Amino acid sequence: MEYLVVIGLFLNPILAVVFCLNLISIIKKANQEKKVSTQKNTVWVTISFAYIIFSLTWSFTMIPY
């Protein structure tokens, strides 16, 4: 069971980044009429979402079994 916690601890933030980048690219494709640069927003949303997932993962690993 410990190995699942360790794998989740490192895999969750990576998956959060992948999810966020894909979500933003889908939003960009859906809204083609405006040509606005969202590169900075993409980076900040990705970092913040990964941080949220990473903190939740850490807090759940601290719960005793």
Query: What is Dmax (Cα atoms) for the chain?
Result: 52
Report d(CA 14, CA 32) in Å as an integer: 28
Sequence-distant (6+) residues with CB within 8 A of 51 are 13
pLDDT beyond 60 at 1: no
Higher-pLDDT residue of 54 and 35 is 54
Higher-pLDDT residue of 34 and 21 is 21
**pLDDT band at 65; cut points 50, 70, 90:** low
Residue-range domain boundaries for the chain? 2-25+39-61
pLDDT beyond 80 at 17: yes
Q: For position 44, what pLDDT does the model report?
A: 76
Residue appearing with tokens 């690993």: 61
**pLDDT band at 36; cut points 50, 70, 90:** low
